[in-house]
Amino acid sequence: MSLGLLEEFGPERIRDTPLSESAFVGAGIGAALGGMRPIVEIMTVNFSLLALDQIVNNAATLLYMSGGQFNVPLVIRMTTGAGRQLAAQHSHSLEGWYAHIPGLRLLAPATLEDARGMLWPALCDPDPVLIFEHGALYNAEGELPDDAGEVDITSAAVRRTGGDVTIVAYGGTLRTALSAADQLEGRGVSAEVIDLRCLRPLDDATILSSVARTHRAVVVDEGWRSGSLSAEVSARITEGAFYDLDAPVARVCGAEVPMPYAKHLEDEATPQVADVVAAVEQMGA
């Protein structure tokens, strides 16, 4: 998405920085405090750990620490997820870690419309926004309508309606969930697919409303199962829709291993369509 921007807008607006995440995220925070609306691009979510202090201890807290005097209107984009054989230092899904932090808004576009339309409202937000872009979606192609504009960055989206089970996904796992729903339809199971879109704050209402209709839920998350975003979603379903459930909430997550390089092992370590279908069938949908 940044290809050609330097040539178009020049070095005053586009800064090709040294490869120091702490430094250039810190510069972005400073620019935001100075009245600008910077976009900081981090190559992968793994590398964002080198700027963890800047993101968690500064960007997320300065509004509170200043008694409401200083907003930090900063947008940070980063690549997340596996599927491209980039091994254990470039392939993990760590957005669940950031979803733990008050003061941040987290977005995960899964469609062309969202990838384009989330950026402007993110820039208009007075507080820090982190956009997690799944690397496997970068080559996705399609036609945007002529009137395509900004999209809602506060709500989940129902990408497919159904009555037998709710499949909750986001980012790179949305395609997996939709493909699983197609297979399930051929087996007589009607699956509703929810795209979270905004990972913090979560849109509980859309999720719980769907579960109240379907009475079953499967959460698909490429991140590790322990302490994951899927665990949070599962907990909220259990807290808010326990008596609507006809089966325990199921989770389909990444294997708890460093991401392998070999393609067949990478596939084994990430949620696949067959895994989602099996999870739905095991709960008797």
Question: Which tokens is 18 given?
Answer: 């040294």
Dist. CA 138–CA 160, nearest whole Å: 22
Task: Please list the alpha-helical segments (H only) found in 62-172.
Answer: 62-65, 95-98, 112-117, 119-124
CA dihedral 271, 108, 1, 49 (to 10 degrees): -80
Q: Which residue, among 225, 133, 217, 118, has the nearest Cα to 177 in the 3D structure?
A: 217
Q: Is 21 a catalytic residue?
A: yes
The one catalytic residue among 90, 92, 134, 215: 90
Q: Which residue, among 67, 70, 59, has the nearest Cα to 26 in the 3D structure?
A: 59
Instruction: Please say whether the beta carbons of 199 and 229 come within 8 A.
Output: yes
Dist. CA 102–CA 133, nearest whole Å: 21
The one catalytic residue among 7, 21, 264, 268: 21
Dist. CA 6–CA 46, nearest whole Å: 25
Dist. CA 79–CA 234, nearest whole Å: 25
Instruction: Please say whether the beta carbons of 33 and 72 come within 8 A.
Output: yes
Q: Is 90 a catalytic residue?
A: yes
Instruction: Please say whether the beta carbons of 161 and 209 come within 8 A.
Output: no
Q: Any idea which residues carry the catalytic annotation?
A: 21, 90
